Amino acid sequence: MSAVEPSLDPILAARGLVKRFGRVVALSGADLELYPGEVLAVIGDNGAGKSSLIKCLSGAMVPDEGAIELDGQAVQFRRPQDARAAGIETVYQTLAVAPALDIAANMFLGREQRRPGPLGSILRMIDKPGMRRSAQEAVQRLGIATIQNMNQAVETLSGGQRQAVAVARAAAFGSKVVILDEPTAALGVKESGLVLQMIRDLRENGLPVILISHNMPHVFEVADRIHIQRLGRRAAVIKPDEYSMSDAVAIMTGAATAGGG
């Protein structure tokens, strides 16, 4: 079925996922494999089951049937927190940032660190300087030069910078996999470039990335492999240097199959 199969074992795999909403079948036996150190793009027409597939992997949706394996171990995600605890971080299209809070606070939102000693254990004081330092480091590791001040409220940032904060958060906490849902959809050319560069940096830091996108040029620019979703299941997996964008669109719409041209 797939055109390419790297030799390593997948870090994250989904087998035969099925998800129904009443009579509508969103996933009808969908498979997915993500290998260590790669950027896997997921493309597909509206209604092909891209977002249902991703939601199953990020814990936002529980599949009716099928199995998910992380590092070869079967896992079951009931809530997004479960997937996060397992090392899968997702950057949602809506970004999930609180605009009035500053960058450091957003980076640690929902997992604040406390001060050591009685200040933290008795007075429950959060470690503001420590979190600010870690946030700064996370941002620097991704080479985001445009964000300097971690005390800056997120609402004062541009769309690309907000995306950068969300990606930096995912990179800082995602130990196994980072999932990005349409990260460039709302961005201009320059800012998209920044985000694509961050995706490459994630891969260089050894974190595999799943990228969901409608934007073919972006997909072909950064992806190592492209998973094409069609009618609730995987239609093909192609390599961007072996297929053209119009081939990919043809497979997406059912006008062609992989290998057949």
Partner 1 sequence: MAVDVVAADETDDPEIAADAGVDRGRGNLVSSIQSVLHRYPALSPALVLLAAYVVFTFLGDGRFARLDTTGRMLQQTAVVGVLAIGQTIIVLTAGIDLSIGVIAIFSHLFMAKLAMNNGWPSILALLAGFAAATLFGALNGALVSKVKLPPFIVTLGTLNIFLALGLIYSQAREISGDDLRGSGNGLLVWTGKTISLGSLRITTGVLMVVVLYAVFAYVLSNTAWGRHIYAVGDDADAAALAGIDVNRVKLSAYAVAGFVYGLGGWILLGRADTASTNNAGGANLDTITAVVIGGTSLFGGRGLIWGTLLGALIVTVYNTGLSLAGVNQDYRTLAIGILVIVAVAIDQWIRKARK
Q: Toward partner 1, which CB reaches closer, 155 or 242?
A: 155
Instruction: Answer yes or no whether residue 180 interacts with partner 1 by CB under 8 A.
Output: no
> What minimum distance in Å lies between the beta carbon of 15 and partner 1?
27
Q: Which of 193, 41, 170, 33 is nearest to 108 (CA)?
A: 170
**Contact call for residues 8 and 35 (beta carbons, < 8 A):** yes
- Binds partner 1 by CB under 8 A, chosen from 26, 40, 88, 196: 196
What is the distance of C-alpha 8 from the center of its chain?
21
Which residues within the stretch 134-163 sit at the binding site for partner 1 (CB under 8 A)? Answer: 145-149, 151-153, 155-158, 160-161
- State the virtual CA torsion across 55, 57, 61, 62 in degrees, nearest 10: 160
Which residues within the stretch 80-119 sit at the binding site for partner 1 (CB under 8 A)? Answer: 80-81, 84, 92, 94-101, 105-106, 109-112, 114
CB contact burial 66-97 (16+ within 10 A = b; e otherwise)? bebbbeeeebebeebeebbebbbbbbbeebeb
> What minimum distance in Å lies between the beta carbon of 234 and partner 1?
26
Whole-Å CA distances, 117 to 104, 132, 170? 22, 19, 28
Q: Toward partner 1, which CB reaches closer, 182 or 191?
A: 191
> What minimum distance in Å lies between the beta carbon of 241 and partner 1?
18
**Contact call for residues 168 and 228 (beta carbons, < 8 A):** no
> What minimum distance in Å lies between the beta carbon of 250 and partner 1?
28
Binding mask of the shown chain, residues 42 to 81, with x at each position contacting partner 1 by CB under 8 A: --------------------------------------xx
Cα angle value 235/187/211 (rounded, 5°): 30
Q: Which residues bind partner 1 (CB under 8 A)?
A: 80-81, 84, 92, 94-101, 105-106, 109-112, 114, 123-126, 128, 145-149, 151-153, 155-158, 160-161, 190-191, 193-194, 196-197
